[in-house]
Chain A
Amino acid sequence: MPTPRHHLNQQRRRRARADAPAPATPSAPAPAAAGERDAGPGAPVGVLTGPAPRTRRRPAAKPVPEGAGAPEREEGGGPAAKGPRRRVPLLVLCVLTLLLGGFAGWAQSRAGALRDDPARGNTALTDPARTSEVKGRTAEAVAALFSYDHTDPGAFEQAGKAFLTGRAVEQHRTLFAGVLAQAARQKSVITTTVTESAVERIDGDRARVLVYADQSSVSTAGAPKPAAGGAKAKAQEQAQDQGVYAGAMFAVDVVRRNGTWLVENIDTFGR
């Protein structure tokens, strides 16, 4: 490390000696120069005007380092011509550093603000693959969860285990408690089909889907009612044979677990 510096110092000293006999300016300002140099950077002259007054003083100060003879300290005490040239790049670099640093900080905050935009966090539609995956899986889950065949009640239980998690387990049970008992008695087949669905939002492994579904229920066995029901019962029976349709709308929250989406919440909008 000290070798090149030493070399430089030697060179400088040699050059300084050559200049010494002819100082560019009278040595009078020398004491003032020393005093003013401290004030220089803080003085109100400003960054660009700063170096100008120093140039003239440099030669005056020069003999001092010569006399001090401290090689480490000396290196800056170059000849008159070198001073301004060295200061200007330094100031330019300082200004550049500040400008670039300022820009970097600003750009970072702008980018951050853009990335934090809630619209961007929601990848519904912007990620078509995931959007259709969520829709498909939701339709599958809804069809399984809200359908019931009296001949195969196990499938209904199975669907609950396969597609539900968290509080949705309880919600599903509550929603179906009454229907289930009636369906078992009437030997009904309830079929639920998703007719329309739209993904409200996808945020990583969570999504919310608005679902419109049609529910048809067909009673295969004549209801266990007294045969004396008359015309009214017959009409009802006929209607059941043809199927009774009802439209439903609700929203489901789904979460991704182990590569598959599970229903975590069923929002029936307070109904």
Chain B
Amino acid sequence: MTRAVRTPAGSRPVLTVALVLTLVAGGFAAWTGQGWYAAAHDDSAGYAAERDRALAAGEQAVQNLNTLDHRRVDQGLDLWEASTTGELHEQLADGREEFAGQVRTAKTVTTARVLAGAITELDDRAGRARLLVALRVTVTTPDSKSTDKDSRMLGELTRTDGQWKLSGLGQAPVGGTATG
């Protein structure tokens, strides 16, 4: 019977305690919720994510465009076209037949490895970016001799349908223009 008494007895303080706990929980919820909102809507975070997306796509595309196996030329050139857009894409498509013939004749296998890469400019809204990719290209000739060559690539990226693709690619010029 004493239990029956005790249960309702604490109701008022219990209610107060419960109210305080609820308020504290509410405060916490408001605070963490606001922090979460701020974290999720942080502009620089979105920009950083886009930078990393552009870099990953750019490095992959530059590597793709420096990789070609004479035994699988068509496959390789399809990948080239898939990695590019705009003017560069058109250039590759136009010169495809001629280039494929050259590679088949030379019987070379070209592979590339990205040593380092970084975005230099990123226009998040316009969907344009520039990047530097330090590349080591290995060319293997039919007599199994392979040569390494380092390339200082400059790339231009354009976002099309949410995908970053190369719209320009070249090597950094040496001398002359450097001082000019």
Residues of A within 8 A of B (CB): 8, 33-34, 37-38, 58, 61, 64-65, 68, 70, 72-78, 83, 86-87, 89-90, 93-94, 96-98, 100-101, 103-105, 107-108, 110-111, 114-115, 117, 119-120, 122-127, 193, 195-200, 209-210, 212, 214, 216, 243, 245-247, 249, 251, 267, 269, 271
Contact = CB atoms under 8 A, between A and B. Distances in A.
Contacts of B49: 117, 119-120
Contact of A64 (B1, B36, B45): B1
A61 to B, nearest CB: 5
Contacts of B175: 214, 216, 243, 245, 247
B126 interface: no
List of 8 A-B pairs having minimum Cβ-Cβ separation, nearest first:
A76-B8, A245-B175, A198-B118, A247-B174, A100-B25, A104-B28, A107-B32, A214-B178
B101 interface: no
A111 B32 contact: yes
Contacts of B9: 72-77
B5 A210 contact: no
A87 B9 CA distance: 12
Contact of A114 (B45, B120, B150, B177): B45
Contacts of B6: 73
A212 B132 contact: yes
B interface bracket (residues with beta carbon within 8 Å of A): 35 or more
Given A120-B45, A198-B118, A245-B174, A104 B152 contact: no
A65 B1 CA distance: 9
Contacts of A107: 29, 32-33, 35-36
B125 interface: no
Most buried by B among A83, A119, A127, A209: A119
Contacts of B172: 195-196, 212, 247
Most buried by A among B4, B9, B49, B131: B4
Contacts of B33: 103-104, 107
Nearest to B53: A119
A125 B12 contact: no
Given A78-B8, A104-B32, A195 B178 contact: yes
A108 B32 contact: yes
Contacts of B93: none
12 contacts: A64-B4, A68-B5, A75-B8, A77-B5, A90-B11, A105-B32, A110-B39, A111-B38, A114-B40, A126-B44, A214-B179, A249-B150
A269 B26 CA distance: 55
Interface in B96-130: 115-120, 122
Given A73-B9, A74-B5, A122-B48, A100 B122 contact: no
A263 B176 CA distance: 28
Given A216-B175, A245-B174, A119 B48 contact: yes
B7 interface: yes
Interface string B118-153: 111010000000011010100000000000001010
B128 to A, nearest CB: 13
B29 A104 contact: yes
Contacts of B38: 111
A125 B117 CA distance: 14
A114 B36 contact: yes
B152 A249 contact: yes
A60 to B, nearest CB: 10
B82 interface: no
Given A114-B42, A195-B178, A212-B132, 9 more contacts: A68-B5, A73-B2, A76-B11, A104-B33, A107-B29, A111-B32, A123-B48, A126-B48, A249-B150
A15 to B, nearest CB: 15
B51 A269 contact: no
B154 interface: yes
Interface stretch (B13-21, B63-71, B73-81, B159-167): B13-21
B178 A245 contact: yes
Contacts of A33: 4
Contacts of B118: 124, 198-200, 209-210
A65 B132 contact: no
